[in-house]
Every structure is written in structure tokens, then in C-alpha cells.
Amino acid sequence: MNRRLSVGLRRLPVAVIGGLLLVLALLVPVAAQAADVGEAGGKFRTGDSVEIPAGETFSENLYAFAGTIEVNGTLDGDLVASGGSISIDGMVTGDVTVAGGQLTVNGEVGGDIRFAGGQLQVDGPVGGDVAVIGGSVDLDGDVGSDVLFGAGQVNIAGDVAGQIYGGAGDYERTGTVVGPEDVTVDEGDEEPPTVADRAVGGLYRFVTLFLVGALVLLVLRRPLETVLTRARQRPGASLLSGLAALAAVVALLVASIVLGIIWSIAFGLSGLGLLVGTYWFAFFVLWVVVAFTLFLLVVYGAPIVATIAGSRLILAGRDNIWLQLGALALGLVIYLVLTAIPIVGWLIGAVAVVFAAGAIVLAMRNFRAPTAEPVFSEP
């Protein structure tokens, strides 16, 4: 199996765990919005800051959403929280599930820690698992069960009673581990792929692109006809439209971040922390959708649109589904070979992405306008 594919498959369970943790923690503001802070025994708390003071014991689960969350006393239950900075200097007898910028545990956690965010620092003991998706992880305290992670930098100085499993860009362990240790470290360019790796990877990508392209040809012929006709009739306009669309995405991202900062300051100072959380929740959902769309465009849309558009010039007047499938296969081979050329390959791929994006934009703008001539002949 391709080495990169194998590494990706090994990291999949960690990514799935992290995604579930993040979704769970991001549901906190939604749940808090549906409940009055004074109801349910004070389980739901929002605002600029939430605190359990030192010497106080809260014998319920706590669902908190705030800029700063501090557990200095004892929480006899679970903590589910989302915020910029979360610290536990006291004790949580149950599980801790957090999405946020930073989680610092100087006290004790009796159950599991599940964290999705920027930085996790654990100096106190943890009775259960530690599952993390984040930027950096420092575990100096002892862990009573397993450690699972996907992170940029991981340092484990405490003792782990279970196993260690995950993937990281930089990994170091000075503590002990009782169970197996299975960690994938991103070694960058230290071990370049072999010729066999490249061949298997290229074959895998060819088969994937061909199957997706064939499905598009068979199921989405009419929308594809519109896209390809616009691309063939107006190649220059397709490139310009693609550049404009991608620039608009970047501008929208910057604008939404700036607006979010202003929004957070304005409503944070007004004590309406829930509205701040709602905005960033919507921000997260929107850009996950945008990122997934760009992923589909880069991985599938660009090579398929560029390949079929090129085959249309060669097979003009002789189009049928079998010729199109054959041209798709040949075109994909040429595309993959060209994009594999050092230095210029990335440029060819970038032009294909811009061209495909522009063709799709033009097709969407002129969706109701008839095309000058069909790309495919009717069977």
C-alpha cells in the first residue's frame, strides 16, 4: 500500500474522534441558549467569565461557554465547555470535554479529557483517557488510561497506564507507557517517497479520478455540458472569473475574521457572550463548507473539467459516451504526468484549478441561458 495512504488510514480514527469531540463541545452554546442560567441547578453558564471558586463544590455537570472558564474548586460531575481559556486548578471528578483556545489542568481530573483546540497543558493527574486534536500537547501529569492525539507538537513527560496512539509533526516521550505505543510522526522530506510509492500513488489517484469523472459523465451530463461549453467558448473569461472567485473567497475570509473580532469586542463588553459564541459557531460551519468545496474543486473538479474540456477539442463531432470515457482516461494520464513534473507541475495544477473554478462560475451565472452548441451528442 502507498506509504502516504497507509499513514492517512492510521490517522483516520484519531481524526474521527477529534471531529466528534469538536462537534460535541461546539453544541454547548446551542444548549446554553435553550436554557436559563438560573434553571437546571445552574448547569448552564455563559458570559465573559465562568468560575467555580476555591473552596466551593458544585455537585452537578457543568455546561459553560465564556471567554474565560476557571474551576478552582471542586466540580463533582462532568465539564463540557467552550471558550478562549479554560483552566482547572481544582478538581473535576467526571469527564472534561472542551473546545477552545487553551486548556490548562493544574488540578485533578477523575475521568477522561477530550480536547479540540490550540494548546493543552496537563500538569495534574488524569484518571481516564486523554483524547486531543490540537496544535500543541504537553502531558506532564500521569494518565490512568490511554492517550490518543492528532497534533502538531506532542510532549509526554508523565506516566501512561494504557497505550499511546496518534499522529504528530513533532513527538517526544520521556515518561513511561505500559501498553503499546503507535505514533506516526510527520518526517517531512527526510524520507522521500520511492519510485514504487509514486507509481502506486499515481495509479490510486488515476483510478479515483476516472471513477468520479465517469460518474459525472453518466449522471451529470447536462450541467457538465454547460460548464464545458462556457469554458471552451470563453477560456480567457474562465481564467479571469476563476481568479476573481478565489480572490473573493480570501477577501470574505479576512472580512469575516475582522467582523468577528469587532463583534466579539462589542458584544463581549455588553455581557452578551452567547452572541459571540453563536457568531463563531456559524463562522466555523461556514468555512468548513467552503474548505470542503475547495477540496472537491482542487482534487476532482480541476483535473476532470480540464481533461474533458481538452478531449472536446479532439473529439469534436464524434462525441459518444464510450469515446468520452476513453478520452477521459487518456487525458487524466496526461494531466497526472504533467502535474508531476518538478517546479512547473504545481503551476499547471494551479492553472487547472483557476480554469475549472471560472468555468463553473460562468456556467452558474448563465445557467438559464442556452449554450451555443452541445458538448455531448444525445445517445
What is the DSSP track for 252-268?
HHHHHHHHHHHHHHHHH
Domain boundary among 163, 185, 207: 185
**Does 23 reside within a domain?**
yes
Quick check: is 371 in a domain?
Answer: no
Q: Let me know whether 275 and 136 are in one domain.
A: no
Q: Are residues 335 and 360 in the same domain?
A: yes
pLDDT at 123: 95
For residue 39, the model assigns a pLDDT of 46
Q: What is the CA radius of gyration of the chain?
A: 26
Would you tell me how many other CB atoms lie within 10 Å of the CB of residue 377?
12
Q: What is the pLDDT of residue 81?
A: 85
Q: Tell me: do 308 and 261 sit in the same domain.
A: yes
Question: Cα–chain-centroid distance for residue 60?
Answer: 33
At 139 the three-state DSSP class reads strand
Residue 87: which residues within 8 A CB-CB, separation 6 or more? 69, 70, 71, 103, 104, 105, 106
Let me know if residue 14 belongs to a domain.
yes
In the numeric block, the cell 496544535 is attached to 135
In angstroms, rounded to a whole number, what is the distance separating the alpha carbons of residues 186 and 102?
A: 24
Contacts of 11 (CB under 8 A, 6+ apart): 150, 166, 167, 184
Note whether 125 and 179 are same-domain residues.
yes
Q: Is there a domain that residue 33 lies in?
A: yes
Do 221 and 249 reside in the same domain of the chain? yes
Number of domains composing the chain: 2
Assess if residue 376 is contained within a domain: no
| pLDDT at residue 106, rounded to an integer | 95
Question: Following CA atoms 255, 261, 264, 266 in sequence, which dihedral angle do they give, to the nearest 10 degrees?
Answer: -90
Last-in-domain residue among 185, 204, 236? 185
* The domain boundary residue, chosen from 164, 185, 206: 185
Q: Identify whether residues 176 and 203 lie together within a single domain.
A: no
Q: What is the pLDDT along the chain (379 residues), one digit of tens a residue?
A: 444 434 443 444 444 454 544 444 444 444 444 444 444 557 888 778 889 999 999 998 998 888 889 999 999 999 988 878 899 999 999 999 888 788 999 999 999 999 888 899 999 999 999 999 888 999 999 999 999 998 889 999 999 999 999 888 899 999 999 999 999 887 654 566 677 777 788 888 888 888 888 887 777 767 666 666 666 666 777 778 778 888 888 898 888 888 877 777 776 666 666 676 677 778 888 888 888 888 888 888 788 777 777 666 666 555 667 777 777 788 888 888 888 887 788 888 888 888 777 777 776 666 554 444 444 444 4
Q: Is residue 373 part of a domain?
A: no
- How crowded is the C-beta side of 285, counted as CA atoms within 13 Å? 9
Same domain as 210, residue 101: no
Domain co-membership, 107 together with 245: no
The predicted pLDDT at position 270 comes to 63
- Please report whether residue 221 resides in a domain: yes
3-state secondary structure of 369: coil
Same structural domain, 14 and 163:
yes
> Are 172 and 151 within one domain?
yes
165 CB burial (10 A radius; 0-12, 13-18, 19+): buried
Residue 346's Cβ-side half-sphere holds a number of Cα atoms within 13 Å equal to 2
Range of the domain at 107: 3-185
Q: Do 281 and 353 sit in the same domain of this protein?
A: yes
Angle CA(91)–CA(157)–CA(105) in degrees, nearest 5?
20
Q: What is the pLDDT of residue 158?
A: 93
Q: Determine, yes or no, domain membership for 102.
A: yes
If asked whether residues 342 and 200 sit together in one domain, one would say: yes
According to DSSP, the β-strands at 91-92 and 74-75 are: parallel
